[in-house]
Amino acid sequence: MKVLPFTIPKYKRDSIQLQEDKGALFYELLHQHEEFQISLILKGSGTLIVGDTISSYKQDDIIVLGENLPHVFKSDLKKSENSHMISIFFTKNTFGGNFFDTEELKPLKSFFKKAENGFIISKKSEKIIEVFNTLYKASKFDRFILFFQLLKELNTSNYKSLSSFVSLKKYSDNEGRRMSSVFEYTINNFQNEITLEVISQQAAMTKNAFCKYFKKRTNKTYVTFLNELRIEEACKLLQIKNELTIAEVAELTGFQNISNFNRKFKHFKNTTPRVYQKNFI
């Protein structure tokens, strides 16, 4: 299944669409599609942008994305291992127009509600991983049965929402490419100073027009988005590189001084960088 910006073309008659992504990196352009997506990360790690929110993904993560929810998996190319993800795609009309409205499937309403903002299973679940892998290898008939077992497990597992704001307006392909350029430039250059003048050029807009456009699309300013990304990258360094000082982490993630870094870190993570780092020593 070739994924184009904001469009997943149908090339099979299968009700449940399966896709395997394997290589140096995942598809790295911001995109959305009408299908719900359930993904299992088999290998790799990186940055995950969903709607207005930046987080990260790693091996064994199970991620659920709602219909038309803008997202991008940005693989960490600094790691030597390849990225490998298997995904399931389906729509509410996959089995017929009112299928998911039947009395027997009413418990799944909470699943679809949570999926609107995307969610990640907050604790590794061997049971979900086993069902996922079995479904992926099963016959079409068994796949149908296992699919609903998977939805049941996902619906009752502890989870963390991935986005706090999702625009109701569907992105056009042009808007998708514009936002993708902004996100890609930010991810690749967050270590350096990024001015509003520079980033607005990536969007081919004036500074004022870009600020209004970005705020409308994400419900936050670009500066807030940039700081969130920098703090998320700082968290990765604090987790895996205990030999780095707090000042070094601040410098590597684009902060001009340690006091500003500490302040922003406390704002986004409700703790200090030093306390956060100690949890991984």
Question: How far apart (Å, rounded) are the C-alpha atoms in residues 46 and 75?
Answer: 4
Question: How far apart (Å, rounded) are the C-alpha atoms in residues 143 and 16?
Answer: 8
- CA nearest to 61, candidates 46, 76, 74, 78: 46
**CATH H-level superfamily of 190-278:** Homeodomain-like (1.10.10.60)
Question: How far apart (Å, rounded) are the C-alpha atoms in residues 130 and 98?
Answer: 29
- pLDDT at position 6 is 45
- CATH code linked to domain 17-161: 2.60.120.810
**Over the stretch 89-118, which tens digit does the pLDDT of each residue have?**
999 988 888 899 999 999 999 999 999 999
Query: pTM higher than 0.85 for the full model?
Result: no
Domain boundaries, the chain: 17-161, 190-278
Question: How far apart (Å, rounded) are the C-alpha atoms in residues 83 and 242?
Answer: 25
Q: How confident is the model at residue 170 (pLDDT cuts 50, 70, 90)?
A: low
Instruction: Report H helices in the chain.
Output: 109-115, 126-137, 140-156, 173-189, 196-202, 207-218, 222-240, 246-252, 258-269, 273-278
- CA nearest to 230, candidates 259, 252, 258, 199: 252
Report residue 231: phi and psi, to 5°. -70, -40
**Over the stretch 189-215, which tens digit does the pLDDT of each residue have?**
999 999 999 999 999 999 999 999 999
**Over the stretch 119-139, which tens digit does the pLDDT of each residue have?**
999 888 899 999 998 998 899
Structure tokens at 272: 């200090």
Fill in the amino acid letter for 79: K
